[in-house]
Amino acid sequence: MVIIDGKLISAQIRSELKIVIGQLCKVTGKTPGLAAILVGENPASKVYVGMKSKACNEIGINSFVEKLDENISENALLNVIKKFNDDVNIHGILVQLPLPKHINQDKILNSISVQKDIDGFHPYNVGNLVIGHDTFFPCTPNGILELLERYNISVSGKHVVVIGRSNIVGKPIANMLLQKNKNANATVTVCHSNSGDISRYTVQADILIAAIGKPEIIKENMIKEGAVVIDVGVNRVDADSEKGYKLVGDVDYKNVLNKVSAITPVPGGVGPMTIAMLLKNTIKAFKLINNID
């Protein structure tokens, strides 16, 4: 049984990217820049944006964090995005989700320059992903594929069951796995909140990707012997710790361990990969904008 170490792989990727950035800065005389927009006080979002910004600075990407009030108007937020769209020192823009209820998320994501859309959430980039063209691949799905690849776990010809149909994870990973290329070419089933008893599908999975957002709901009896389990869930549950909570995945980790052939832990599995892929996409945007292959 293999525990897939996302923290280790993420660190490896970040040191690879640091070298690439050094070379790019030398060649262009410019430095890649990422703008992260954080609206409101969501505690998890604050932590994520802080980690993203720190990761940028560590490898030589200039990071700008725009912290905005919970009550900011949609128009004012659109203006902030326009400012970054027009700024030659910014190559990647991310708006941390979720946004407050009074803001139309689609309108905001639509306003990000498609060339700077390092989260890959703009409908133009989503469309390119679905038809199998190169694009900015959303960070969490891309991180999952990168982890599988680096652990030599082929998905080609396998039955992958994805649980969750979000625009951030479920839909993009399902579409990426479907593509006819060597790192994909899987048979994909997507389960969601209206699928009824999901164990009917999960027991058939060679690779199970859980992206539901409910603590430890994937139990041992829902998994096929020898399956690969990728746990995308990051759930805060009350705990007797300094912070008053601990993080658990969507999978009942301890009890599935002796049944799986490989599994990602929470924390330290998929999470760190999301950040590594964000950095990779920022470099991709920098190269695109500067016409470098």
Give the CA distances from residue 248 to residues 15, 122, 168, 216, 265, in Å, rounded to whole numbers and listed in that order: 28, 30, 19, 7, 9
Measured at CB, which residue is nearest to ligand GUN?
Answer: 97
In angstroms, what is the minimal distance from the CB of 210 to ligand GUN?
15
Q: Which of 25, 68, 97, 153 binds ligand GUN (CB under 6 A)?
A: 97
Q: Is 140 in the site for ligand GUN (CB under 6 A)?
A: yes
> Is 52 one of the annotated active-site residues of the chain?
yes
**Cβ at position 292, least distance to ligand GUN in Å:** 25
Catalytic residue among 5, 117, 119, 252, which?
A: 119
Residues in 190-229 at the binding interface with ligand GUN, rule: CB under 6 A: none
94 binds ligand GUN (CB under 6 A): yes
Binding-site member from 24, 139, 186, 256 for ligand GUN (CB under 6 A) = 139
Chosen residue from 81, 99, 168, 266 binding ligand GUN by CB under 6 A: 168
How many residues interact with ligand GUN (rule CB under 6 A)? 9
Please say which residue, 95 or 276, places its beta carbon nearer to ligand GUN: 95
User: Which residue lies nearer to ligand GUN by CB, 96 or 115?
Assistant: 96
Single residue of 10, 113, 142, 274 touching ligand GUN by CB under 6 A: 274
Q: Which is nearer to ligand GUN, 119 or 250 (CB)?
A: 119
| Active site positions, annotated | 52, 96, 119
Binding site for ligand GUN (CB under 6 A): 94-97, 119, 139-140, 168, 274
